[in-house]
Amino acid sequence: MNIVTATRTPADWQARAAALSIRTEAFIDGRYRPAVEGRSFENVNPATGAKIADIAACTTADVDLAVIAARRSFESGVWSRCDPAERRRVLVRLADLILVHAEELALLETLDMGKLLRDSAMLDIPGSAEVFRWYGEACDKLNGEVVRAGEGAFALIDHEPVGVIGAVVPWNFPLKMAAWKCAPALAAGNSVILKPAEQSPLTALRLAELAAEAGVPDGVFNVLPGFGHEAGQAIGLHAGIDCVAFTGSTEIGKRFLSYAGASNMKRIWLECGGKSANLVFPEAKDLDRAATFAVQGIFFNQGEVCSATSRLFVHRDIAEDFIARVLAKVDAYRPGDPLDAASGMGAMVSEEHTARVMDYIAIGREGATLACGGERVLAETGGCFIAPTVFTGVDPASRLAREEVFGPVLAISTFADEAEVVRLANDSVYGLGASVWTNDLAQAHRVARTLHVGSVSVNTVDAVDVRTPFGGVKQSGSGRDLSLHAFDKYTDLKTTWISL
Ligand code: NAD
Ligand code: MN
């Protein structure tokens, strides 16, 4: 399924958007229902400021209902103990359904959180389908181990689903983050309660229905929209939830650890913030390609990417040339209507977040040199747009260099030698990703080994693939999304010792 966004005008897309039917209620035990307390919240299109719909604001009462349904379905074995080949068929069917409805889902995603429709259509939606397909296919290919213990005994080591999983996800890749958590959790046989971010609930709500259509039994997959301090906190504190997988800020990640400690010691897996460094050495042969990726690494998705390469360290001998190349490529990310194929970047997710990013730009203006951007633009649209912004001469000790901005703001610093730049890159509370540009093989491995992060990309930026683990060290989190290793989060090991 390939949507050629360029073949339709923004007006065509707007007409299609107006014809969408929007799911606004929670999905619990196989059906949509209003929030128990009857409250709702406004969902806004950040590219226009226009209201899209009123969405059910779930609270503890809804989480209670969802946990009852999830627990009942889990204990019944209808999903948790069925033949894994059946789970495979259902999840592969869900992947197919996501592709059948790709245009609708892409449009929902873009209207909801402002990213380019081109990216929703080409990356987010097909990427989410791919993750459901990949974990679906994996369902019936995983077996346990047998331990030989001499003549009189052997043992089985098997993986069992954990039970009821809470998935609390952010707004930057709404459907994709839901897929990263829910696909392996469901594939392993768990029942799931998904809480999308309040800024971007639409695709998750639609996914619930598609999952039911694919054959996911009632109660196995529930979606509860709502605020973090209400629905999110209730999930964190609920004693009937066995595990929470979270992606979002480090601040809220830490809260989930407290929720677990204050309730049932549920296991908590965190994918939190980052301040990923991009190291450009003079040994890199293709500096133009490096510059292209340096720009993509910070301006893709409006910089609203946890693994964005927001810190660029360039060797002083090549700094002048390299920075000129970077600045020459910024114009390709000029923001505009996310529905317009000619736009280079979409809208920021919300007014609140836009203000946050603008505060960081103000901080940058105080200590560093503004090389381009720095302004909020397209005020006439009523939307949240920030020009791609580059600061040079950034002090690695400054707030701009140390704190996660989560916006289209690149901080460039220079370095003198390998030891210095590795020290600077590692001098962070975060440890999500890093990029290294060099054609010296030994240097690439030497530096990759010493970077204290979850993923190193060599001669590219932010390499993410369903086959390889994604996640961080230090305050970037714990556990890994993607790859077969994600199953570790959603399964328990069961030992059965057999004495003959
Ligand atoms: P957030 O951490 O507040 O939100 C992420 C998810 O957690 C959402 O579903 C939210 O509803 C929920 N949540 C919020 N408060 C909660 C609470 N008290 N208890 C339980 N759940 C709660 O992120 P945000 O406010 O949307 O963004 C703030 C900053 O977080 C961003 O500027 C960025 O730095 C970072 N962020 C990181 C990622 C990432 O992918 N690592 C994603 C989004 C935001
Ligand atoms: Mn929205």
Ligand 1 atom closest to 271 (CA): 41
Q: Is residue 5 part of a domain?
A: no
Q: With a cut of 90, say whether residue 3 has pLDDT above it.
A: no
> How many angstroms separate the CA atoms of 469 and 2, rounded?
27
Could you tell me the CATH number of the domain that includes residue 300? 3.40.309.10
Structure-block tokens of residue 420: 């210095």
Q: Is residue 412 part of a domain?
A: yes
Domain check: are 188 and 105 in the same one?
yes
473-474 and 430-431 strand pairing: antiparallel
pLDDT at 7: 79
The residues near 494 (Cβ < 8 Å, ≥ 6 apart) are 156, 157, 158, 159, 160
Q: Is residue 10 part of a domain?
A: no
Query: Mean pLDDT across the stretch 266-270?
Result: 98
> How many angstroms separate the CA atoms of 224 and 251, rounded?
22
Residues 305-345 have pLDDT tens digits of 999 999 999 999 999 999 999 999 999 999 999 999 999 99
Q: With a cut of 80, say whether residue 5 has pLDDT above it.
A: no
Q: With a cut of 50, say whether residue 490 has pLDDT above it.
A: yes
Q: Is 215 helix (H, G, I), strand (E, B) or coil?
A: coil
For 470, which DSSP code?
A: B
Instruction: Tell me what the pLDDT averaged over the chain comes to.
Output: 97
Ligand 1 contact via 349 beta carbon (within 6 Å)? no
Q: Is 423 helix (H, G, I), strand (E, B) or coil?
A: helix
Cβ atoms of residues 38 and 165 within 8 Å: no
Could you tell me the CATH number of the domain that includes residue 90? 3.40.605.10
Q: Is 219 helix (H, G, I), strand (E, B) or coil?
A: coil
Going by pLDDT thresholds of 50, 70 and 90, the confidence category of residue 362 is very high
Q: Is residue 487 part of a domain?
A: yes
Which is catalytic among the residues 25, 198, 230, 271? Answer: 271
Q: Is residue 12 part of a domain?
A: no
Question: Over pLDDT 90: what percentage of the chain?
Answer: 98
Domain check: are 219 and 76 in the same one?
yes
Residues 387-425 have pLDDT tens digits of 999 999 999 999 999 999 999 999 999 999 999 999 999
Which protein residue's CA is at the shortest distance from atom 16 of ligand 1? 228
Beta-sheet strands, E only, within 174-300: 191-195, 221-223, 243-247, 267-271, 277-280
Domain check: are 366 and 488 in the same one?
no
Q: With a cut of 50, say whether residue 374 has pLDDT above it.
A: yes
Please tell me the number of the ligand nearest to residue 349's CA: 2
Ligand 1 contact via 433 beta carbon (within 6 Å)? no
Domain check: are 375 and 424 in the same one?
yes
Ligand 1 contact via 303 beta carbon (within 6 Å)? no
Q: Tell me the residue range of the domain where 259 lies.
A: 19-272+477-496
Q: With a cut of 60, say whether residue 4 has pLDDT above it.
A: no
> How many angstroms separate the CA atoms of 160 and 495, rounded?
10
Q: Which of 62, 205, 252, 298 to mutate for ligand 1's pocket (most ligand atoms within 8 Å of CB)? A: 252
pLDDT at 2: 53
Going by pLDDT thresholds of 50, 70 and 90, the confidence category of residue 6 is low
Provide DSSP, 394-406: --TTSHHHHS---
Residues 437-450 have pLDDT tens digits of 999 999 999 999 99
Residues 153-170 have pLDDT tens digits of 999 999 999 999 999 999
Ligand 1 contact via 228 beta carbon (within 6 Å)? yes
Q: How many CB atoms lie within 10 A of CB 487?
A: 17
Query: Mean pLDDT across the stretch 258-273?
Result: 98
Domain check: are 340 and 262 in the same one?
no
Domain check: are 145 and 241 in the same one?
yes
> How many angstroms separate the CA atoms of 252 and 451, rounded?
25
Domain check: are 381 and 398 in the same one?
yes
Domain check: are 251 and 199 in the same one?
yes
Domain check: are 35 and 167 in the same one?
yes
Cβ atoms of residues 117 and 233 within 8 Å: no
Q: Is residue 13 part of a domain?
A: no
pLDDT at 170: 98
Count of domains observed in the chain: 2
The label of the residue with tokens 């992947």 reads 95
Domain check: are 292 and 203 in the same one?
no
Query: Mean pLDDT across the stretch 200-216?
Result: 98
Ligand 1 contact via 57 beta carbon (within 6 Å)? no
C-alpha 42 – ligand 2 centre gap (Å): 8
> How many angstroms separate the CA atoms of 94 and 224, rounded?
19
Q: With a cut of 50, say whether residue 1 has pLDDT above it.
A: no
Domain check: are 256 and 314 in the same one?
no
Question: What's the pTM value of the predicted model, to 2 decimals?
Answer: 0.98
385-386 and 376-377 strand pairing: antiparallel
Q: Is 454 helix (H, G, I), strand (E, B) or coil?
A: coil
Going by pLDDT thresholds of 50, 70 and 90, the confidence category of residue 88 is very high
Q: Is 196 helix (H, G, I), strand (E, B) or coil?
A: coil
Domain check: are 253 and 306 in the same one?
no
The label of the residue with tokens 């601040």 reads 251
All residues with CB under 5 Å from ion ligand 2: 43, 112, 199
Q: With a cut of 50, say whether residue 349 has pLDDT above it.
A: yes
Please indicate whether residue 160 is annotated as part of the active site. Answer: no
| Neighbouring-strand partners of residue 386 | 376
Query: Mean pLDDT across the stretch 54-78?
Result: 98
Q: Is residue 44 part of a domain?
A: yes
